Amino acid sequence: MNPGDAAVPLCVDLDGSLTPVDTLHESLLNLVREAPGCLLRLTAWLPRGKAAFKQAVAARARIDVGLLPLRADLLEWIKEERARGRRLVLVTASDRSIAESIGERLRLFDEVIGSDGSENLSGEFKRAALVARFGEKGFDYVGNEAKDRAVWQSSRRAIVVGGHALVASARQVAEVARVFLVAAPPLGLWLKAVRLHQWVKNALIFLPALLAHSILRPDILFELVLAFTAFGLCASALYVVNDLLDLESDRRHPRKRNRPFASGELSARSGVMLACALMITAIALAAAVGLKFFGVLAGYCIVSGAYSIYLKRVAIVDVMTLAGLYTLRIIAGAVATAITPSFWLLAFSIFLFLSLGVVKRFAELDDARVSGAPGGHGRGYGEHDLPLLMALGASSGYCAVIVMALYINSPDSNFMYRHPRALWFICPLMLYWISRVWLLTSRGRMHDDPVVFALSDRVSLLTFGLIAMVVLIAI
C-alpha cells in the first residue's frame, strides 16, 4: 500500500463480494421456511419500492449472519488494510439492519451504509451516496457485478471480485488495484448440488418388474427408464429445494456446511432456477408415462415438500416419512408397468427403510452431540434420544428380515421361484448387514446418508452381490 492509501477509505460491498451469497434471497428463503403465509403479502410490499421491500423482508425473516460464508481471501486482505491504518466502510444495497449485523459480527468496519427503506443503495444510488460522503475519486471500492461499474467510475481504484469479463469491464472506467478471481462453477459442482449419486435410490422403481420376472420385456423396460428419469429429475429438484430451505441448519453441520448452496459456491437464485428446470422436465416425462404414474409422482412431491418444510423437524414422523418416500418409489414402478406390488414387498420396504431412515437421523444427532450443536441441527431430537433411536432402528431392520423369512415360507415364493429354499440364505446375509450398519452407526462411523455408505462400502457391496447370486440360484 502506498503511503497515501491510508487516507483513502476502502468501501466494501457485501452481497457477492464480502460474502458470496445474496442476503435478500436468503431472507426470502428463510421466510418461506418459517412464515410462508407472509409470502402472500409480498405483492403489497413491492409497489413501495425495492428498498421498502428489502426492509419488510428483513424485519420478518431474520437470518443468522454469524453463519454466512465469507470470502476468506478478501477478508484477510481487508484485515491487512485495516492493520495498516485504513478506514473501512461496509456499503451495501442490503437492508441496513443486515449490514449492521455483519458489522457487529466482524468488528472491522468504521462505518456501515445500507439501504434504509426509502433508497435502494445499488448502482447509481450507491455511487451518488459515496461521492456525497467522500467526494469524486475519494474512495476505493470493492465490487462484484456489472452494476458496480457505475461506482467504479467515481472511485479512485477498483477492487474486483469476479471473473475476467468483469475485470475487463472495470478497467474501462477505473484503475484496477486488485482482483479476487471467481471462476464459474464447474459441472461437478452442479452434479453435486443435484445429488446425482442419489438417483440409485430410484432403482427401486425397477423392483416390481424385476421380482415379477418381467424386467426384460422391451415395452416394460422403456416405461421404467422414462419413470426412473422422471423420478430422478424430480428428486434432484426436491433435493435442491431442501438444501435451499435448510441453509442455516446445514451451515451448523460439520460436513453439510460444505454443500454447494450452504457454502455459497452456488447462489440461491441459481438453485431456484435449477429446481424449476428439473421439475418441469420431470413433469413432462411423467405425463408421457401415464396419468397414474403422474399422480404418484405428484404425491411424492407433496410428501417430500411437506418433509422439507416441516415434517423433518417432527420426531418419529420424520423417519416414517422417509420410509414412506422410499416405498412410494416401488409403488411408482408398479404403477408405471401395471404390475401389482405384493404385500410382502411393501411390508419389507417399510421396515427396512424405516431402519435406514433412523440410521440417517441417528448419525446426524450423534454428529450434533460431538460438535456440541444444540437441538440436533434443527431436528426434533436431543442427545438423550440416541438409545431410543438405536432400539427403534435396529428392531425395524430385524422386522424386515422376519418379513423376508415369512415370504420365503409362503406359497407366493413357491410360485415365483423354482428353488425357493435357496432364498433362506438371504436372511443371515441381511441380518449381518443390518447389524453391521448399526454397529458402525453406534461407533460414529456412519455417513449422513446410509445409501451413500452402502455404495462406497466394500463389505456392503459384497453382501449385496451374494444376495443377488442367491436370487439367481433360486430362479
Grid coordinates belonging to 443? 461407533
State the amino acid at position 411 in one-letter form: P
Contact 313, 264 (CB under 8 A): no
The CATH number of the domain holding residue 435 is 1.10.357.140
SS (H, E, C) 177-211: EEEEECCCCCHHHHHHHCCHHHHHHHHHHHHHHHH
Residues 314 and 176 in one domain: no
Grid coordinates belonging to 28? 426470502
Residues 167 and 287 in one domain: no
- What backbone phi and psi angles, to 5 degrees, belong to 84? -85, 5
Count of domains for the chain: 2
Q: How many residues does the chain have?
A: 475
- What backbone phi and psi angles, to 5 degrees, belong to 414? -65, -30
State the amino acid at position 155 in one-letter form: S
On the question of pLDDT at 378 being above 60, the answer is: no
Domain end position, chosen among 158, 181, 204: 181
pLDDT band at 10 (very low <50, low <70, confident <90, very high): very high
> Which residues, 6 or more positions from 101, have their beta carbon under 8 angstroms from its beta carbon?
65
The CATH number of the domain holding residue 148 is 3.40.50.1000
- Looking at mean pLDDT, say which of 45-49, 139-143, 310-314 comes out highest: 139-143
Poorest-pLDDT segment among 46-50, 154-158, 288-292, 470-474: 46-50
pLDDT score for 132: 94
pLDDT band at 223 (very low <50, low <70, confident <90, very high): very high
pLDDT band at 309 (very low <50, low <70, confident <90, very high): confident
Residues 362 and 414 in one domain: yes
Residues 174 and 305 in one domain: no
Element (H, E) at 52: helix 50-60
Neighbours of 244 (CB within 10 A): 25
Strand partners, 88: 10
pLDDT score for 374: 54
Which structural domain range is residue 359 located in?
Answer: 187-474
Average pLDDT, the chain: 90
- Percent of the chain exceeding pLDDT 90 equals 66
> What is the model's pTM?
0.81
What is the DSSP pairing of strand 10-12 with strand 88-95? parallel
pLDDT score for 142: 97
Distance CA 283, CA 233 (A): 9
Collapsed DSSP state (helix, strand, coil) of residue 89? strand
Collapsed DSSP state (helix, strand, coil) of residue 126? helix
Domain end position, chosen among 155, 181, 207: 181
pLDDT band at 419 (very low <50, low <70, confident <90, very high): confident
Mean pLDDT of 144-161: 95
125 or 256, which is more confident: 125
State the amino acid at position 12 in one-letter form: V
pLDDT band at 454 (very low <50, low <70, confident <90, very high): confident
**What's the pLDDT tens digit per position in 41-68?**
777 777 788 888 888 888 888 888 889 9
pLDDT score for 5: 67
On the question of pLDDT at 379 being above 70, the answer is: no
SS (H, E, C) 269-323: HHHHHHHHHHHHHHHHHHHHHCHHHHHHHHHHHHHHHHHHHCHHHCCCHHHHHHH
Residue for grid cell 411423467: 286
- Name which of 454, 431, 447 is nearest 362 in CA terms: 447
pLDDT score for 452: 80
318 or 41, which is more confident: 318
- Looking at mean pLDDT, say which of 56-60, 259-263, 306-310 comes out highest: 259-263
pLDDT score for 2: 58
Grid coordinates belonging to 294? 403422474
Residues 208 and 168 in one domain: no
Query: Cα torsion at 17, 22, 23, 28 (round to 10°)?
Result: 180
On the question of pLDDT at 375 being above 80, the answer is: no
Distance CA 237, CA 465 (A): 31
Domain end position, chosen among 166, 181, 196: 181
Q: What are the angstrom distances between the C-alpha of 155 and each of 26, 163, 402?
A: 29, 20, 74
- Name which of 356, 357, 353, 327 is nearest 342 in CA terms: 327
129 or 382, which is more confident: 129
pLDDT band at 118 (very low <50, low <70, confident <90, very high): confident
On the question of pLDDT at 230 being above 90, the answer is: yes
Residues 358 and 460 in one domain: yes
